[in-house]
Structures are given as C-alpha cells and as structure tokens.
Amino acid sequence: MLRDLEIETIYTAIVGAPVPTDVDGPKSPIQPASVDLHVGRIYVPETKPDELGGVNQPRTELSLATGETAVVETKEEISLPPNIGAIGFTPSSLSARGLLTTNPGHIDPGYKGKLTFTVINMGRTPISLETGDVVMTLVVFTLTGDARAPYDKRNPSSSGATVTATRMDSLAKDMLDVSGRIKRAVEDGDRQKVELVTQEEGKTRRTATVVGVVSPVVALILSLTIAIVGYLSTTNENADKLDTIDDRVVTLESQGDLARLDERLTELEEVDALQERIEALEEQVEDLQPASTQPGG
C-alpha cells in the first residue's frame, strides 16, 4: 500500500490533476495512505433522460432523502499504470451519517476513466451531495510487477464506467419505497398501513446498527459470566475454608472438654486421698482414747 510521499509522485499521472499546494493539509486529496475523489455529476433513478438528473442532464447537487438512491460519477478521471491497483471506500464522514455506497470494488491496473457508483441514504436525515464534495477514498497499492494483461488491454474499446439509460432503469429512486408506500396508504385512508410502513422503515435502519450493538453486548455478557464464575469459585473456596474452620473449632472444643474432664478427675482423686487420710486419723484417735471411755468399760 502506498503512503503519501509515494502517492504524491504518481498523483498527477493517476488522477490527471496537479499536486495540491497544501499537499499535507487537512483538505488535501493526498491523505496519509489514500487518495480522495470528489463528486462530479449526479444522476437520479426514475428520471427521464432529458430531465434534470437524467442521463442527458445530470445534476451538480442533490439532497438525498432517507431511503433514496443516486448514481454518482467522480470528478476525476483516473488512469492506473499496469503495476498499480486500487480499492474504493466510502469516507467515514459520510458513512457515519448513514450513506451507503455500493462497493466500486477493486480497480484493476490499466483502468482508465471515471468511476461511478450508487449511493443510498440509510440515515434519518437528508444528505446533501454537491459537485466537488469528497465522496470516495482510494487505497492505492503496487503489484509485484506489471499485470500481464491490464484492464485497458483486455478492454481496448472501454472508456471506463459510464451511466446509461439501461443502468438507470434498473434502479429505484427510493430503495425502500418509503414515501410511495406511505402516500398510497394515506390515499387509501388506511392508518394501519401507514404505521406498518413506518415500522418497517425503522426496522431497516436499525438493522444497519445490529452488528455494532451485538459485539458490546456479547462482550458484556462474557465479562459478567467470567465475574460470576469467579465469584462462585471464590464463594466455594470460602465455604471450604469455613468448613475447615468449623472442624477445627469442634476439635478445639472437644479438646477443651477433655481438659476439663482431666481437671475434674484430678480433683476427685485428691478428694479420695483426703478422705482416706481422714479415716486413718480417726483410727489413730480411737487407739489413743483411755479404756474407761471405751464402751462396755
């Protein structure tokens, strides 16, 4: 992939325009690793050829309502050498507002001509398109060598992508037909249809955000699961510790009872010994008494 310094050296050759004076400025078409292309002519599907927006009278500006489509032709006419290819993307400034660009795809080495692509407004508010606005970003890369049969040799009579009546006839002005369906529902006096169409249109817009929403939710669920498992694991460990402590307490209590029992036995032994001594002393006292005092004397 080419960087800005390398793009600058071939910019005039591949875009047909002089290198801008402020080549490193924020509005320069030469970006750090890409080339900005701009709106040229604008075509509106379901427009008659000679009407404004038709193939014979393209527009230079257009406000694209929700669900509406347009065909945009680039202002630049590019010319890729046999060892240079490119891929086009919608600029983030437009995609963030809901503009969906049908992928112009990979642009083959040897391609010469303007680029055309269909844009669809998937956002809530109208999007303005005007000649000179940035509408596409090209990532440019080099091949390991020249293509054996570049685009211009495979298609010698081609002048690049062109907007034809046949192509325009295959497209709908309103991809979702939101305005038409609501209008017909209103004309029929059917409020339920109006609500249904509005709900379907809302669902279609929300579908575009599903992927962006699901990933954080899955990550949150995963984080909560890990936290719960960790909590349960910690709880189980603590429970085991409590059981161990309980066992030790019981053991200590048992040991305490045995100690008290030993003390009691010792006390009893001392009492028995004292009783035996008292009895012995009593016998000695009897032996020492005079005979007259003895019974029967």
**pLDDT top residue among 203 and 114:** 114
Token representation of residue 111: 């391609």
User: Taking 60 as the threshold, does the pLDDT of residue 211 lie above it?
Assistant: no
Compute the distance between CA of residue 62 and CA of residue 127 in angstroms, rounded to an integer.
Answer: 8
| Least reliable range by pLDDT among 42-46, 85-89, 153-157, 220-224 | 220-224
| Least reliable range by pLDDT among 111-125, 177-191, 216-230 | 216-230
Contact in structure between 127 and 94 (CB atoms under 8 Å):
yes
pLDDT, position 214 = 44
Q: How many Cα atoms sit within 13 Å of 198 on the Cβ side?
A: 9
User: Taking 50 as the threshold, does the pLDDT of residue 218 lie above it?
Assistant: no
Task: Place 178 in a pLDDT band, splitting at 50, 70 and 90.
Answer: low
CA distances from 200 to 87, 187, 197, 203, 212 (A): 33, 19, 5, 5, 20
**pLDDT top residue among 33 and 104:** 33
What sections of the chain are H helices per DSSP? 4-15, 92-95, 151-154, 165-169, 178-187, 191-207, 210-288
User: Taking 50 as the threshold, does the pLDDT of residue 244 lie above it?
Assistant: yes
Bridge partner list, 70:
119
The residue among 151, 86, 90, 95 whose CA lies nearest residue 122 is 95
User: Taking 60 as the threshold, does the pLDDT of residue 232 lie above it?
Assistant: no
* Arithmetic mean of pLDDT over the chain: 77
- Please compute the mean of the pLDDT values over residues 183-195 and round it to a whole number: 62
| Least reliable range by pLDDT among 80-94, 96-110, 194-208 | 194-208
Contact in structure between 8 and 141 (CB atoms under 8 Å):
no
**pLDDT top residue among 293 and 146:** 146
Q: Which residues contact 155 (CB under 8 A, 6 or more apart)?
A: none
pLDDT, position 177 = 65
Other CB atoms within 10 A of residue 37 CB: 24
Contact in structure between 69 and 84 (CB atoms under 8 Å):
no
Compute the distance between CA of residue 193 and CA of residue 182 in angstroms, rounded to an integer.
Answer: 8
Task: Place 194 in a pLDDT band, splitting at 50, 70 and 90.
Answer: low
What are the residue ranges spanned by the domains of the chain? Answer: 4-169, 178-207, 213-274
pLDDT, position 173 = 85
Compute the distance between CA of residue 274 and CA of residue 294 in angstroms, rounded to an integer.
Answer: 27
pLDDT in tens, 258-292: 556 566 666 667 667 777 777 777 777 777 766 54
CATH fold group of domain 4-169: Deoxyuridine 5'-Triphosphate Nucleotidohydrolase; Chain A (2.70.40)
pLDDT, position 160 = 73
Compute the distance between CA of residue 91 and CA of residue 97 in angstroms, rounded to an integer.
Answer: 10
**pLDDT top residue among 260 and 164:** 164
Q: How far is CA 142 from the centre of its chain?
A: 31
Token representation of residue 255: 């040991």
User: Taking 80 as the threshold, does the pLDDT of residue 39 lie above it?
Assistant: yes
pLDDT, position 231 = 47
Task: Place 294 in a pLDDT band, splitting at 50, 70 and 90.
Answer: very low
Burial call 278-296: b when 16+ CB within 10 Å, e when fewer: eeeeeeeeeeeeeeeeeee
The residue among 186, 215, 182 whose CA lies nearest residue 200 is 182
